Amino acid sequence: MTSPFLEWLPECTSAFSQEPRHNRVAGWLLRRHVPRCMSDSRPIGVFDSGIGGLTVVKALRDMLPNEKIFYLGDTARVPYGGKSASTVERYSLEIADILIEENAKIVVVACNTASSVALRKLEEHLPVPVTGVIRPGARAAIAATQNKRIGVIGTRATIKSGAYERELRSLNPDIHVTARACPLLVPLIEEGWLDDSLTDHVIARYLGPLAQEGVDTLVLGCTHYPLLADRIGRFLAGKAKLVDSAHSCAKAVEQLLDRHSLRAPRGGAANLQVALTDAPDTFLAVARRALHLEIGEVQLREVLHRAPASAR
């Protein structure tokens, strides 16, 4: 005898794919009741305020080669790092809804700023599992430190939020955290100055005080920063382990897919689609070259509330 749920499942999945933004009950029931032996060929949805989150996409491609990925960069309103918490929350909800319209089975917030201020609201609002970059990064840092002195670098908004400190101390109250905003690093990366003496000077200026604090672990608390991991590591001269938030996030996604039985079937077409909310800038070429990602034609998506030109 067929169970009532299995008789209802096709209708539910059809409705979910047609109106994913509004059919929250269908999403909840699918997550709760779909048998654990089932696979899911829908894409992983990933978003960032710009294109820096492609470092997370690269980590996901390396770790989960069978998975489709839909990446959305909010280049019309980048950066999020200097905006208010309420604005970042509003932008994040709008961008995440676009991913749901693309039938994403999970939403990855590949932006430390959005993870720090909007993650809880996204978890409440979306009908699919959500993960950010802060919790996975904090857990990796706790596992890496030997002297319980951890440094965190990120955008002004991420550091001001105190999200890493809270997460780290929730895992171990005895941890000493030194956090520093590094607002000039993202513009240097987006200009493609990855191997430039000016970038080295800026890194030294920002990280000198952290080195003096004796940190033995440094969290790269912005998804742009893994592109400077070699230069940062060279400055620290092996005195601190680097925690790459992109790699830590990809590991958390892998665990979340397993927990919710959302893995793609083996041998599926694991394509990458990239969409932006404004025309791509030079950093897309930098990301292609530095990350060795095969990025085809870039799509454009409209957003309701574009940032004024003076704010970009």
Q: Please compute, for residue 167, the number of CA atoms within 13 A of its CA located in the half-sphere on the CB side.
A: 26
Residue 278 has pLDDT above 60, yes or no: yes
Does this model's pTM top 0.85?
no
Lowest mean pLDDT among 29-33, 192-196, 217-221: 29-33
188-216 residue pLDDT tens:
988 889 999 999 999 999 999 999 999 99
- Peptide bond before 209: cis, by omega within 30 degrees of 0? no
Provide the mean pLDDT of the chain: 86
Characterize the bridge pairing of strands 69-73 and 272-276: parallel
pLDDT of residue 260: 94
Cβ pair 126, 23 in contact under 8 A: no
Both tokens assigned to 160: 């001001």
Is the pLDDT higher at 39 or at 179?
179
**In the chain, what are the domains?**
42-132+249-262+270-307 (3.40.50.1860), 135-246 (3.40.50.1860)
pLDDT of residue 8: 44
Catalytic residues: 111, 222
Residue 6 has pLDDT above 60, yes or no: no
pLDDT of residue 37: 47
